[in-house]
Each structure stands twice: as C-alpha cells, then as structure tokens.
Structure 1
C-alpha cells in the first residue's frame, strides 16, 4: 500500500475560543496543542492503533496479512466486520443485509491511520443497507472524522480469521461474471498465510515456493525489545530451530516486527511450538535489567543494521 508523508492541517477547532497551547491537542494525538495542530502542522501519529484491543494484530492486518477478517464491537454495541482489504481498496461497505465491513488497508493514508479508518467507520454506521459508503475526503486528502478509539469498545477482543482467498468479498451478494472475474484476479495474488495457534500476531507466510517466513508483530517498546533480542542473539538463542535464522525486522505503526526465515516445506502449524518456546526465552530476556554486555551490544548493532521502517 502506498504511504504518504504527513500533511498540514488547519488548527484543531476550539469549543470556547482559544485552545491552551500546553493542553492536549483535541485531535487525540497525545501531543500538546502547540506541537500538533496548533502549529499548523500535523505530525504522523506513530502508533495509530494504540489503546485498541489487539494492537499488534491491527498492525498485522494493515501490513502483513493479505486476506483476513475479524469482528469488532462499537462502543454502542453494534457489530462490524474488519477486513484486511476490500475490493479496490475501498474503505468500507454495507451489505444488503446491513452488515458493515471496514477495510483496514487503504490506498492512501493521512498522518493518522486511526482517523482515516474512524472516518470510514463513522460513514458506514450511517449508510443505508446496500448503499456505497461515502466517507468524504479520506487518507491523503485529510480525514475529518473521529478516531477508531472514539468509536470502538476498547475491551472487545480482536479475533482474527485468516482466509485462503478473498471469497468473503462476495458472500451473500449474488455476484455476476464481472465481480467473479475480479475476485479470481485478486485471488491469484494472495500469499499463503497462517496465523500461528496460541500466539498473538505471529504469522507464517510463503511468498515463494522455496521460501517461507515467520513474521511476529511485537507489542513491547522498541528499545526494550531490541535489548531482549540482542541478549538472545548473543546467546545464540534467537532462532526457531534447526534450519531457521533471524532475518531482520521492520517497524510498522510504532511496533517492531521481527522476521525469521524458515524451511518452506515444513507445515505452518509446526512453527507454533518453536515460537512458543522462543516466547518463553524472550520473556526471560525482557525481564533482565542489567546493562548489555560487550557481546550483547555487538549483537544489538547487528539487529539494527537489519531493521527498516515501513511507516
């Protein structure tokens, strides 16, 4: 998905005159007003899904998983289906039966992905059944609606279901030949992906016949996580077993996503056990508070050299 640079926005409106420059910005970014919309410049919200249940899986659905759905609950009790991507990168749709489907992978994004998706969700909640969702300007043009955190029940869990293809797009629609042809073309691009059982936001994928990876969105603060990974790397424990190796990591929406190369011919389910064992080692490393040793600092430098940022 294309990513856009942060853009200027008008200053956040004040309900009763001037906004205190030192007060939190009304946009919900968590920054002081004078450093956010009060400066006429809207910085990128680095963790747009922070505060939502399953933040790591939100990041995975946005950046890693080609075809998946999850059930959301709004603050007022309505049920919404979250989809990794919708036809044409549409932000949302309302089926004839009234079911609302929200797409998390959009063609463009603004400085706050949560506000982009919240704008689309707010429009979908008001749209008549069977009608297109029109959220108005969204993404790169600047989204004007609420953030997801304002609309969703923060306590409702995010239960992800990964699909082999995009068949869920046309469920119950009585699709014609053109829609079926479009679905077939989309299905050809799906990378086989499996969510590892019993783990949060850990996904196996096979981008090529002879190549597979385990990609794991981690919820820990970056510096703390890197120290823990460095300790495991120095101890030669940063592995999922024989034939695997740590390939690197990337940052996405404020979280770090470590990646391991794994044999492509091993069934995806077989990696759940080794990943759980790695989770145990990682938790122990995260609990260590002593400064890094010389070998661990060297390991950390190597990890940083193989880390990139998506957003």
Structure 2
C-alpha cells in the first residue's frame, strides 16, 4: 500500500541551537538541514537500507517475499533473527528462550524505515525473555530510536532462507490450538516463492495457475540501470526466453525491481540458466558508455511508463 512520502515532524532545532541551516541534515538524508528537518517536514529517506549488507534482500523481504528469515548479529555480538513478517505484524518479539525476532514488514512506516526497525530492535534488545516488546511509537513521527546501521554488525554475512510457510513463528514454542489455527490461516495467504540461487535478490513467485513472475531487486543506481535495460529492450534481449514477457518494474526503497511474466508450469530452478544469461547481457549493457540511440531512448520511455513506486 502506498504511504505518504512526507510527514509532519515536531519543530526542529533552530540555527541558534547549534545547527547550521546550510549544513547536511543530521538525519543522513543528504539534504541541507534547512531543506530537511529544519523545514519542519521530513522527506522520506530514499534508501533506508543503504549501507546494510544485502540491501536488495532487505527490500525484497520488506515488499515481495512472504515468508523468509535471516540470521543477523548486532554490533555488540548478539544474535537476532530477521523475519519477513511476525504474527499480527508486530515489529519484534523475544521468545522465552531469549531469541530475538525482528519483523521487517510493518503495518505503518515513517519517513525512515531503518529508524522504525532500529527503534523496534533496540527495544527488543532491552526486553526480558518472554516479555512483550514495547518499542513505543513505530511508523510515525515519534519513531526516534537508532537506525539499523547503528545497531547491526555491518560485516556479518546476510543469507536469506525462504520458507514455504510461517512454521518458523512457532519453532521451540509450546503453543495451543488458537496459535495453530492462526498459523494455518496465515499460511493460506502465502504465494509459492523461491530464490534463484546465485543471482542476488531474484525471487520467483507463482500467484496463480496461469502465470509466474520473476521479481529481481537490482543494486544498480536507477538511471544507469534504466539505460542498460533500454539497450536490451531495443535489441530484443530483455526477455528470459520463450513464453516470457517483461512486465515492468517497481521502485522500492530507492532500488528498481524489474518484473518478468513467466509460464506457470516451469519450475523456479529452470529459470536460473536464463536469468544467468540475462545477467551477463545486463552487465555488458551496464558497461556501455555511448549515448542511447533513438530506438533505445524510445525503449527507455516505454520502460519508465511501466514503472510504479512502492512506499
């Protein structure tokens, strides 16, 4: 669901309070303070997961992947399990054995998703085992905790495990019929999803019996990627094989997510080869430096017309 890109903030400190209005804003947006938090409005942080290992996967787990987990480590050595979503959409929980789970899909968000999640993680790190996590306001102007980049070990590996269902919610827990019923209900909403091995944040999903999709979160800057895709589109090299169609792209959290329609009856593993070949074509197109020709410019305009933004 689209979310507002600007949200009202409480009155920001003035220059007399020690903030130079022409200096970069302390929030890290890259804007001058007077045009960012100094204006009384907070522009949405374009790439909230920038600087984290696995940035494209963070975007995928936030927007595209229904059930997945990642083992994280905090800067002070504590283990955390990142989950695509937690029961009831809660931002974090601490199990009776002390295991901390952080959910990346939240029902609301502020101008900085990283700060929302960092606020929840900071509260979970302080919560006793088995106790409810109360991070305070998350997803609004009141989210004032640390960012993920301040809390996590940025050198730790980032390996996604995609699950066929939400069984990981109840691992190691003594649950009753109500919890099991809730789990079964949640599982019914999951679309079959698989990661394509060795291809970064490339995820196959089958939403029905007629078509499947490949959704591929790309790490490249948007303008450079669009130029490369335009070159491939104009040359007829943007497809993944017979029966495929380039459907368009999402723009999510500062990254572009190209999407292809695929035949539904072809298993996910069978697309690793075609996608690898496309990756090689894309790398050549990304390396090109000559200006786009007329056909490529028309192709680029067509690509932009089929691109939507998720917020």
**Corresponding position of 1:41:** 41
2:149 aligned with 1:129, yes or no?
no
2:206 is paired with a residue whose SS is strand
1:99 is displaced (CA, Å) by: 0.6
What is the Cα deviation at residue 34 of structure 1?
Answer: 1.4
* Residues in 2 aligned to 1:71 and 1:30: alpha-carbon distance in whole angstroms: 30
1:29, distance to aligned residue in structure 2 (A) = 2.5
Which residue does 1:291 correspond to in 2?
291
Distance 1:304 1:167 in 2: 39
Task: Say whether the 8 Å CA contact 1:4–1:140 is kept in structure 2.
Answer: no
Map 1:256-267 to 2 at 5 A: 256-267=256-267
Partner of 1:161: 161
For 2:11 and 2:53, locate their aligned partners in 1 and report how far apart those are by CA, in whole Å: 30
Residues 149 and 13 (structure 1 numbering): CA distance in 2 closer, same or farther, change over 3 Å?
farther
SS of 1:248's partner is strand
Asked whether the equivalents of residues 10 and 37 of structure 1 are also in contact (C-alpha less than 8 Å), the reply is no
3-state SS, counterpart of residue 202 of structure 1: strand
Aligned equivalent of 1:270: 270
1:144 maps to 144
Kindly state the Cα deviation for residue 28 of structure 1 after the two structures are TM-superposed: 2.7
Aligned twin of 1:237 = 237
User: In 2, distance between residues paired with 1:63 and 1:3?
Assistant: 13
Q: By how many angstroms is 1:310 displaced?
A: 0.9
RMSD of aligned C-alpha atoms?
1.5
Aligned to 1:3: 3
Residue 249 of structure 2 corresponds to 249
Contact 2:70-2:158 at 8 Å conserved across structures: yes
Secondary structure of the structure 2 residue equivalent to 1:231: helix
CA pair 24-11 structure 1, distance change in 2 beyond 3 A: farther
Query: What per-residue deviation string (whole Å, max 9, x for no partner) do you get for residues 123-153 of structure 1?
Result: 0010001111100011035311011111111
1:24 Cα offset (Å): 2.4
- Structure 2 distance, partners of 1:48, 1:296, is 31
Classify the secondary structure of the residue corresponding to 1:274. Answer: helix
- How many equivalent residue pairs? 311
> Is contact 2:205-2:213 (8 Å) kept?
yes
**1: CA distance between counterparts of 2:178 and 2:125?**
28
Residue 30 of structure 1 and its aligned partner are, at CA, apart by: 2.8
Counterpart CA distance in 1 for 2:78 and 2:26 is: 26
Residues 38-77 of structure 1 mapped to structure 2, 5 A cutoff? 38-77=38-77
The runs of 5 or more residues in structure 1 that have no matched partner are none
